[in-house]
Amino acid sequence: MSSERSLRWSLTLIRLGPAIILLLLIMVFNLLSPVFLTVQNVSNIVAQTSALAVLAIGQLFVILVAGIDLSVGSVLALSTVTGALVFTWNQGLGGSLSVATFLLTGLVAGFLNGFMLTKGKLPHAFIPTLAMFYAASGLALVLSNGRAIPQVPGIVVTLGNGYLGPIPVPVLLVAALALLAVVLTKRLKWGRWVYLVGGDKEAARRVGIPVDRVILSVFVISGLMAGFAGVITAGRTSSGYPTAGELAELQAIAAVIIGGGSFFGGRGSVAGVLVGALILGVIANGLNLLNVDEYWQLIVAGGIIVFAVELDVLRRYLEGRFRTLQAQGD
Amino acid sequence: MEAERKHTSQNEETPILEVRNVTKRFGATLALDNVSLDLRHGEVLALLGDNGAGKSTLIKCLSGVYQPDEGQVLLEGEEVTIDSPMEARDLGIETVYQDLSLFDNMNVVGNFYAGREPVSPRWLGSWGWVRDGFMSKKARESLKNLQVNLPSAEVEIGLMSGGQRQAVASARAMSFGRKIVILDEPTSALGARESSNVLRLIEEAPEHGVSVIVISHNLEHVMQVCHRAVVLRQGVRVGEAQPTEANHERLVSLIVGAAEHDKGEKQP
């Protein structure tokens, strides 16, 4: 029994792994830099991380069904271009048509990803989203002639760059979307199905879950989130930019994995993803403050990804041990 | 003996399930050849046969995975077509496959209600709020009713032993299966002690109002819990017998094809 308790304890510790890593990073940077934990800097970190956090929330849904969405960076860029272009044509209604275009662009791209995967019977989510990665990026460059479009609605600038007291508006947007995602994943039947499809696709089919519709829907959500991230990014730079969001898809995937999402599907939480995004944000900011070369950030991020996935491997091993123990106790 | 007499007296009644002359082909292969079978109310029926005898094909025809090419399936005397697993479930037929269709990342309650989570308000369908409290209460009641003891209903299935997993899958089927529960090799992956728990569940199923079809390779287990055994070989029904010690040898020879066929049964 005591070994059962210690196993349980280790599993809980692993579940808290990402949060512990984040706390350790904060403590270390706080020791090394006096400005790190100032209100100004913390506010900077969360504002800079918000676009990534939104992308990562979308990516979480896809990874929960054991998929991957490589297109979100390009779709983000495309949405800033289409959104900005629509604003140059129509500035009525406070630019709400432009905002709708940001979101609709993401939604359509996400739908196409999911549609190609489920109806086109493509072998893995890697393929349609890789195609979309190229196509969206190309379309963004074509539509903008490869140049920035320095004109976005005031509401977009506010959403990306505004402040409510010391709190950056994009952080409020992240909070709202995260809350919505928590309700979806934890409380609604549809969210339960996302976890079931990720847990075992074949079994999900057998218990009557519309597996293809669930898979399609997570890509729509991921695309929509890329649209929201596009709003934030365009707001921060006050422009539509065809090469915005470069490497953002990989960062989003990293945030999900670091935050305890499993590539095997069926495991991961919104809270974990936010922690994962913050870990990346804190590393970038902290190393910056310490004047460490930017390239080192990439190396540290790489190390943390491996560490996080090793935790997942360790979890599986411990669960196996736990099972054996249960069988002996029967 | 009590039980047996009871079953004989019910012989005259309409069986809960009748399979009439069902044939199923896969390309040139004849997987089921004119197979007939009936399951009586409150009966535990064994379906025996070697690998490739057609047992799995037959139960998949009953659980909506396959549709028979010819023949009929009657549920309580009425012909039914079972086009999908969902339809089978709606008709009151639950199937436990060898892989159990359990979700490792969910706890017992989540697995119990997988795919049919009750929501409120109901008209929202899959966008409704899952009634976790209700689910948890009901699942615990069912487990208690079936006397299935688990360390906790909140433990993830991935952390459970093979016996516990089989117990959960069987209990789920028996709680939701209003009429028939079909079990495919329920004890093949289990040790002796774990098997006895599952066998008890099967034996007591009629008390909970369900009839059972069990596929098994283990004749000892069949003799322990089944009232009757039907043998398939190469897609053909070759005989049936009471699974008793006295009939043991006969059942074995029917399975391997060393025995004369029962009168009126077809040659493979």
Q: Which range in A181-185, B85-89, B249-253 is most confidently predicted, on average pLDDT? A: A181-185
Please tell me which residue of chain A has the smallest CA distance to B98.
A203
Share of chain B above pLDDT 90, in %: 47
Instruction: Report d(CA B60, CA B56) in Å as an integer.
Output: 6
pLDDT in tens, A77-134: 999 999 999 998 877 777 889 999 999 999 999 999 999 999 998 989 999 999 999 9
Higher pLDDT, B193 or A110: A110
Q: Which of B159, B193, B197 to substitute to test the interface with A, most A CBs within 10 Å?
A: B159
Q: Supply the pLDDT for residue A245.
A: 87
Residue type, A289: L
The helix (run of H) or strand (run of E) holding residue A106 is helix A96-118
From the list B106, B130, B191, the residue facing A199 with the nearest CB is: B106
Tell whether the model's pLDDT for residue B266 goes beyond 90. Answer: no
pLDDT of residue A324: 75
Query: Do A189 and B110 count as a contact with CB atoms less than 8 A apart?
Result: no
3-state secondary structure of A40: helix
Q: What is the mean pLDDT of chain A?
A: 91
Q: Which residues of A touch B128 (CB under 8 A)?
A: 188-189
Q: Is the ipTM of this complex over 0.90?
A: no
B87 in A contact zone (CB under 8 Å): no
The answer on pLDDT for B262 being more than 80 is no
Q: Look at A190 and B162 and tell me if their CB atoms are within 8 Å.
A: no
- Residue A307 pLDDT exceeds 70: yes
pLDDT tops 50 at residue A198:
yes
Taking residues A219-237, what's their average pLDDT?
96
Cα gap A162→A156, rounded to integer Å: 9
* Average pLDDT estimate for A277-292: 93
A330 contacts in B (CB within 8 Å)? 161, 163-164, 191, 193-194, 197
Q: Which two tokens stand for residue A149?
A: 């479009």
Measure CB to CB from residue B164 to each of A208, A266, A326 and give the nearest one.
Answer: A326
Contact assignment for B117 to A208 by CB distance below 8 Å: no
Nearest CA in chain B to A209: B115
For residue B160, give the chain A residue with the closest CA.
A323
Output phi, psi for A128, to 5 deg.
-60, -35
Residues B236 and B34 sit within 8 Å (Cβ to Cβ): yes
- Any idea of the CA torsion for A29, A35, A37, A40, to the nearest 10 degrees? -140
Percent of chain A topping pLDDT 70: 98
The pLDDT value given to residue B12: 55
Q: Do the chains contact at A327 and B130, CB–CB below 8 Å?
A: no
What's the pLDDT score for residue B264?
Answer: 57
List, as ranges, residues 103-122 from B with C-beta within 8 Å of A: 103-106, 110, 114-117, 119
Q: Is residue B3's pLDDT more than 50?
A: no
| A218 or A90, which is more confident | A218
Say what the pLDDT of residue B33 is: 92
Residues from A contacting B (CB-CB < 8 Å) are: 187-190, 192-193, 195-196, 198-200, 202-209, 266-267, 319, 322-324, 326-327, 329-330
Q: With bands split at pLDDT 50, 70 and 90, how would you rate the model's confidence at A208?
A: confident
| B228 φ/ψ angles, rounded to the nearest 5 degrees | -155, 150
- Please report residues of B whose CB lies closer than 8 A to that of A205: 85
Q: Which of residues 208-227 of B touch A (CB under 8 A)?
A: none
| Distance, CA of B52 to CA of A297 (rounded, Å) | 59
pLDDT digits (tens, 9 = 90+) for A3-14: 778 888 888 888
Q: Mean pLDDT, to the nearest integer, of A271-288?
A: 94
Contact A195 B89 (CB under 8 A): no
Give yes or no for a contact between A197 and A209, defined as CB atoms under 8 angstroms apart.
yes
Query: Taking CB atoms and an 8 Å cutoff, what residues of chain A touch B102?
Result: 200, 203
Dump strand ranges (E) for chain A: 163-164, 167-168
Mean pLDDT of A262-269: 91
Opening angle at CA B242, ends B236 and B245, nearest 5 = 115
Question: Could you tell me the pTM of the whole model?
Answer: 0.88
Least confident of A13-27, A304-318, B105-119: A304-318
Average pLDDT over residues B105-111: 92
What is the per-residue pLDDT for B8? 44
**Maximum CA extent, chain B:** 60
Q: Report the residue of chain A nearest B122, measured CA to CA.
A: A189
Angle at Cα B202 formed by Cα B201 and Cα B204, nearest 5°?
A: 65
Q: Report the pLDDT value the prediction gives residue B1, as an integer from 0 to 100.
A: 39
Inspect the interface and report whether the beta carbons of B105 and A198 lie closer than 8 Å: yes
Asked if residue B69 has pLDDT above 50, the reply is yes
